[in-house]
Amino acid sequence: MANTYTQIHIHFVFAVKFRQAIIGNEWKEELYKYIGGIIKNNNHKLLAINGVSDHVHILIGVRPVQSISDLMKNIKQDSSKWINASKFLKNHFEWQEGYGAFSYSKSQLNAVVNYIQSQELHHKKKTFREEYVDFLEKFEVDYDEKFIFKELI
């Protein structure tokens, strides 16, 4: 759109279904590149991506050409199909329903990128659930405990 200027930075967090620790170290970089391609193909800018075996963090410069929910639907749907077609796992792969989306100003981006890049170190001290609830509380997002990412029981 001509004469439309924006600066929108969103940090997305989403988990493997039932928070199963199944994203393999041997293929996670390929996954991140694939997700980066989805983001680029949807006319957004990938600023950082990383995660651990049960969830992913993405920082995106979002362009106002697509809703956040449609972007996340594309990322999760297309990457799930790619993981399953690549046969990285014996069983069917799915992302957990839902996601977190948190906005940041340009002055905060370096800190967010550093946070995302240090996920492995960060999760030696804190579980995904603790991290996610911390985000919800920090951003003052009302939430219901029963809808926090479910674990396999």
- Split at pLDDT 50, 70, 90, the class of 4 is confident
pLDDT of 153 higher than 60: no
For 45-92, the pLDDT digits (tens) are 999 999 999 999 999 999 999 999 999 999 999 999 999 999 999 999
Which residue segment(s) compose the domain that 34 sits in?
9-146
Structure tokens that stand for 51 in this block: 């995660």
Instruction: Report the candidate in 10, 8, 9, 12 with the shortest Cα–Cα distance to residue 132.
Output: 12
Asked if residue 1 belongs to a domain, the reply is: no
Question: What is the pTM assigned to this prediction?
Answer: 0.89
Tell me if 17 is assigned to some domain. Answer: yes
Is there a domain that residue 4 lies in? no
152 lies in some domain: no
In a domain, 75, yes or no: yes
Q: Is 152's pLDDT higher than 70?
A: no
Q: How many CB atoms are located within 10 Å of the residue 75 CB?
A: 24
Q: Is 153 within a domain? A: no
Beta-carbon contacts of residue 47 (< 8 Å; ≥ 6 apart): 9, 59, 60, 61, 109, 113
CATH of the domain at 62: 3.30.70.1290
Whether 111 is covered by a domain: the verdict is yes
Q: What percentage of the chain has pLDDT greater than the value 70?
A: 95
Q: What is the mean pLDDT of residues 7-20?
A: 95
Instruction: Please state the domain count of the chain.
Output: 1
Spatial strand order in the sheet of 45-52: 45-52, 55-61, 9-15, 100-104
Q: How far apart are CA 135 and CA 141, in angstroms?
A: 8
For the chain, the DSSP string reads -TT-----EEEEEEEBGGG-----TTTHHHHHHHHHHHHHHTT-EEEEEEEETTEEEEEEE--TTS-HHHHHHHHHHHHHHHHHHHT-SSSPP-BPS--EEEEE-GGGHHHHHHHHHTHHHHTTTS-HHHHHHHHHHHTT----GGGS-PPP-
The verdict on residue 108 lying in a domain is: yes
Instruction: Say if residues 106 and 125 touch (Cβ distance below 8 Å).
Output: no
